[in-house]
Chain A
Amino acid sequence: MAEAAAAKKVIVKVKRQATPKEGAHWEEFALNWRPSMNVIICLRDIAEHPVTSDGQTTTPITYDSNCLEEICGSCAMLINGKARMACSALVDALEQPIRIEPLTKFPVVRDLSVDRQFMFESLKRVKAWIPIDGTYDLGEGPRMSPEVQEKGYPLSNCITCGNCLEVCPQVNENSPFMGAAIFSQVRLFNMHPTGKMHAAERLKAAMGHGGIEDCANAQNCVKACPKGIPLTESLAEVNREAWKQALFGWTGW
């Protein structure tokens, strides 16, 4: 029994790329199966013993990871063709060989590691923050009904993983579309009692370069979101508010 378990293998194929400029190639690894393995454990096994299934010595795989509980947003990659977080991708629920590739909508740094700076820059463009006067003591914040909190909190769970951009046909080399996550943040800040005061600025940015108009309503984003954020609702609402503002100069408050 124990021997049979020890003999059981997990076959993993990883798309490798040494530098941003070099071409990609695949490597296959045969790892020892254990209960409750996830894709991160596979990558760690390879790091400890970087030998391919045909016996070639190679280098450990470069990849992004941090919290390993699906809340930091680091380890997004394509696993069997699906954009998802590697830490919560359990091996026993995956078809083998498990194919692991970097996200395709962001520049590859090395192997599975990609540069998602584009998203953080987009958050700057739409001014995704509450413009407080300062951190000195100015008393309590504005009151908020539980209903607003219950709407805002799920939006605030966005981990900036990039999966919604990965699956969006409108995000590509020829388009500056910022992606669903960003517009959902516009909705979040425009819903907040203080954030609302600056809704017009955010809506203006949302109508600008790479803005909401480029959304073609494919609705892939909402299915790919690991946090279950109602992204299509956010897109629809920001779109509606942005048009209202464009047509009537009305900002909804």
Chain B
Amino acid sequence: MRQPKIIVVGGGLAGLMATIKVAEAGVPVELFSIVPVKRSHSVCAQGGINAAKNQKGEGDSIAKHFDDTIFGGDFLANQTLVGRMCEAAPGIIDLLDRMGVMFNRTPEGLLDYRRFGGTLYHRTAFAGATTGQQLLYALDEQVRRHESEGRVKKFEGWTFLSAVIDEGGVSRGICAMNLHTMEVQTFAADAVIFCTGGIGAIFGRSTNSVVCTGSAQSALFQQGLDYANGEFIQVHPTAIPGEDKLRLMSESARGEGGRVWVPRTPGDKRAAKSIPEAERFYFLEEWYPKYGNLVPRDIATRAIHRIVYEEKLGIDGQAAVYLDVTHIPVETLNHKLEGILEIYEKFIGVDPRKEPMKVFPAMHYTMGGMWVNAEDQQTNVPGIYAAGECEYQYHGANRLGANSLVSCIFGGGIAGPAAVKYAKNLSSGTDATPSTVFERERRRQEEMNQALLSGTGGENPITIWKELGEIMTEHVTVTRINKNLELAYGKIGELTQRYKKINLSDRTKWSNQTLNFARGLGNMLVLARVITIGAYQRNESRGAHYKPEFPERDDANFLKTTRAKWVDGDVQLTYEAVDTSHIPPRARKYDAAK
């Protein structure tokens, strides 16, 4: 019998889970990653992972987790698979616990749970404030074990360039570039699972890691893979501004009792600690008495923008508000939040145990991503699967905190076996694909490299990237206005023209990061168009997508998934119905009980 072969691209939580599942099925798997997989962006997840274990006797249930997730996502997520994810979540926590994750414990030796945004229950298991790191390591260790036993072969230090798609439109493998030798090579596979994460770099600065460019998703989109709900971008309410990165201050700070406030007097110059209680404006608690500081992220972010830009109440007139944990006992802080407090202390030089932190919203997560079916993570191209942040399935118009880790592991966990099943059932595998199909793709990619390496125009890729980030952050994040979106779309077009005149300051053929960056930038420019045009055409407000010109949710016209296609070098949008078969849509309000 033919032995199928599977490739996984991306070694974060979703990719590692998919890899483990394929290896367990006894099928050889090759794992490609830009960085050693242990350094993937999942390490940055801080606060925790959701599962309705009802371990605090509050009456939490899977149905409530399901409802909170759908309601939090403003009814844009297809419901059936979200329901399955919520059902699977407690088992996922058990599995991670068995893998040795150092979750925080109760005195009885059970897992401890904390509160997070968009729910009234203690539903979030956590390992200090570095839960993503701990989860990633657990899966990394399991993959290392499979690797040492010969079931997994890693290709770390390789970047994905394109899929190899045959005449019949079926995926037969990938084309990738070795980031040391810069060699371009094709790899055959019966099925490929993409777990290529976020797209933060399109917005210049974000909470994302350097590798989160969305380059793989965009390359696939340009090969005929559909991209869904691109316009839904989560801006996290609390991050530390920085020139190189906007560093996340986890929602868990508020889950453990942290409070957001500004001085009531505009331009108050007093030190935070000397401002009396009565002169502090705890605006989230006043505006949303039921959820208080734990409203979902889109709501907290818009509230902070309103405080800063409309009420002019930012700290000392600046774009910042206080995130205050100074009233929480130091032992509790060190036990439950140390990881993030250290980040603040190291990068700002102020101890947040003693002084309130100064924070501001930052681009954080894409709810949109590669279109996948409602069953088993397959995309519209046969043989290509997707899981994790790079696909669109689980979070609708806004993701709830601590739901991303569970969606990565759940999605990866079903993509792996689905890819195996597909590969085993193929009547004709990749071994029957003519070598010309692979050679054609390899040559196409080589030519793209050559064109970049020999470009003699006057444009610098980093300059173009910075300008793209500024345009996207200004016009395509928290508040979207149609005339500004038109302007942004025009500017992305101009940048795309300038990109063609790129002149690389490094033309060498060894470990050339400039070339790799330029390749990614070309793809970022395409995905920026998908996001912007999606936002432009969606004339309503829903979840993270907010248009003051259209302040209401419009179910009659827009209770629909945006599905972008690449047609003759242009983005075309179509809309398809959302599965609302379990929970009928209702108004999304957090200022009172649901």
**A interface with B by C-beta (< 8 Å):** 18-19, 34, 36-38, 40-41, 44, 47-48, 50, 57, 59-60, 62-74, 87-88, 90, 109-111, 113, 116-117, 120, 123-124, 127-132, 134-135, 137-141, 143-146, 149-150, 152-153, 156-157, 159-160, 189, 192, 194-195
Neighbour of A120 across the interface among B109, B144, B413, CB < 8 A: B144
Q: Are B347 and A69 in contact (CB under 8 A)?
A: yes
Query: Shortest CB–CB separation between residue B509 and chain A, in angstroms?
Result: 10
Q: Are B36 and A146 in contact (CB under 8 A)?
A: no
Q: Say whether B346 faces chain A, with CB atoms less than 8 Å apart.
A: yes
Q: Are B36 and A120 in contact (CB under 8 A)?
A: yes
13 contacts between A and B (CB under 8 A): A19-B511, A62-B512, A64-B35, A68-B245, A71-B44, A71-B339, A73-B39, A74-B39, A109-B511, A135-B24, A138-B94, A146-B107, A156-B134
By a CB distance below 8 angstroms, the chain A residues around B462 are 44, 47-48
* Bound CA span A57–B145, Å: 47
Q: Are B100 and A120 in contact (CB under 8 A)?
A: no
Q: Say whether B97 faces chain A, with CB atoms less than 8 Å apart.
A: yes
Contact with A along B72-107 (1 / 0, CB 8 A): 000000000000000000010011011110111111
> Contacts A129-B144, A145-B109 known; A68 to B210 CB distance under 8 Å?
yes
Neighbour of B346 across the interface among A88, A129, A146, CB < 8 A: A88
Q: Are B513 and A152 in contact (CB under 8 A)?
A: no
* Bound CA span A152–B104, Å: 10
Q: Say whether B209 faces chain A, with CB atoms less than 8 Å apart.
A: yes
* Bound CA span A18–B511, Å: 9
* Bound CA span A18–B104, Å: 46
By a CB distance below 8 angstroms, the chain B residues around A194 are 98, 100
* Bound CA span A129–B149, Å: 13
By a CB distance below 8 angstroms, the chain B residues around A47 are 462, 505, 514
> Contacts A19-B510, A135-B21 known; A40 to B105 CB distance under 8 Å?
no
Q: Are B142 and A129 in contact (CB under 8 A)?
A: yes
Query: Shortest CB–CB separation between residue B44 and chain A, in angstroms?
Result: 5
Q: Say whether B384 faces chain A, with CB atoms less than 8 Å apart.
A: no
* Bound CA span A37–B245, Å: 11
Q: Say whether B147 faces chain A, with CB atoms less than 8 Å apart.
A: yes
B322-349 interface with A by 8 A CB criterion: 335, 339, 343, 346-347, 349
By a CB distance below 8 angstroms, the chain B residues around A74 are 35, 39
* Bound CA span A63–B179, Å: 12
Task: Beyond the given A47-B505, A140-B97, please list 10 additional residue pairs across the A-B interface where CB-CB is below 8 A.
Answer: A37-B243, A40-B244, A57-B505, A59-B505, A66-B39, A67-B41, A67-B44, A72-B43, A129-B141, A156-B134
Main secondary structure of the interface of A (DSSP, over half): loop
Query: Shortest CB–CB separation between residue A42 and chain B, in angstroms?
Result: 10
* Bound CA span A160–B109, Å: 29
> Contacts A60-B513, A143-B109 known; A36 to B43 CB distance under 8 Å?
no
By a CB distance below 8 angstroms, the chain A residues around B104 are 146, 149
By a CB distance below 8 angstroms, the chain B residues around A110 are 180, 510-511
Interface centre among A135, A139, A153 (most CB of B within 10 A): A135
Q: Are A143 and B210 in contact (CB under 8 A)?
A: no
Which of the segments B125-133, B353-361, B584-592 contacts the partner chain? B125-133
* Bound CA span A71–B248, Å: 12
Chain A residue nearest to B340 in the complex (CB) = A69
Interface centre among B247, B347, B413 (most CB of A within 10 A): B347
Query: Shortest CB–CB separation between residue B208 and chain A, in angstroms?
Result: 9
> Contacts A135-B21, A135-B413, A141-B94 known; A50 to B505 CB distance under 8 Å?
yes
By a CB distance below 8 angstroms, the chain B residues around A44 are 244, 462
B480-528 interface with A by 8 A CB criterion: 505-506, 508, 510-514
Q: Are A66 and B513 in contact (CB under 8 A)?
A: no
Q: Say whether B460 faces chain A, with CB atoms less than 8 Å apart.
A: yes
* Bound CA span A44–B460, Å: 13
By a CB distance below 8 angstroms, the chain B residues around A88 are 346-347
B142-177 interface with A by 8 A CB criterion: 142, 144-145, 147-148
Q: Say whether B194 faces chain A, with CB atoms less than 8 Å apart.
A: no
Contact with A along B198-214 (1 / 0, CB 8 A): 00000000000111000
By a CB distance below 8 angstroms, the chain A residues around B95 are 132, 135, 137
Q: Say whether B110 faces chain A, with CB atoms less than 8 Å apart.
A: yes
Q: Are B106 and A146 in contact (CB under 8 A)?
A: yes
> Contacts A40-B244, A68-B209, A135-B95 known; A156 to B102 CB distance under 8 Å?
yes
Q: Are A152 and B20 in contact (CB under 8 A)?
A: no
By a CB distance below 8 angstroms, the chain B residues around A67 are 39, 41, 43-44, 209-210
Contact with A along B531-548 (1 / 0, CB 8 A): 000000000000000000
By a CB distance below 8 angstroms, the chain A residues around B39 are 66-67, 72-74
Report, nearest first, the 7 A-B pairs whose CB atoms are least far apart. Answer: A141-B97, A143-B109, A129-B141, A110-B511, A130-B100, A59-B506, A72-B39
* Bound CA span A209–B510, Å: 33
Q: Are B510 and A135 in contact (CB under 8 A)?
A: no
Query: Shortest CB–CB separation between residue B298 and chain A, in angstroms?
Result: 23
* Bound CA span A137–B89, Å: 11
Query: Shortest CB–CB separation between residue B20 and chain A, in angstroms?
Result: 6
* Bound CA span A128–B505, Å: 42
Q: Are B98 and A69 in contact (CB under 8 A)?
A: no
By a CB distance below 8 angstroms, the chain A residues around B245 are 68-69, 87
Chain B residue nearest to A151 in the complex (CB) = B102
Interface centre among A57, A113, A140, A194 (most CB of B within 10 A): A140
By a CB distance below 8 angstroms, the chain A residues around B142 are 129, 132, 135
Q: Are B506 and A60 in contact (CB under 8 A)?
A: yes
* Bound CA span A129–B147, Å: 12
Q: Are A66 and B97 in contact (CB under 8 A)?
A: no
Query: Shortest CB–CB separation between residue A124 and chain B, in angstroms?
Result: 4
By a CB distance below 8 angstroms, the chain B residues around A36 are 242-243, 347
Q: Are A66 and B144 in contact (CB under 8 A)?
A: no
Neighbour of B144 across the interface among A62, A124, A134, CB < 8 A: A124
Query: Shortest CB–CB separation between residue A9 and chain B, in angstroms?
Result: 17
Q: Say whether B108 faces chain A, with CB atoms less than 8 Å apart.
A: yes
By a CB distance below 8 angstroms, the chain A residues around B209 are 66-68, 72
Chain A residue nearest to B34 in the complex (CB) = A66
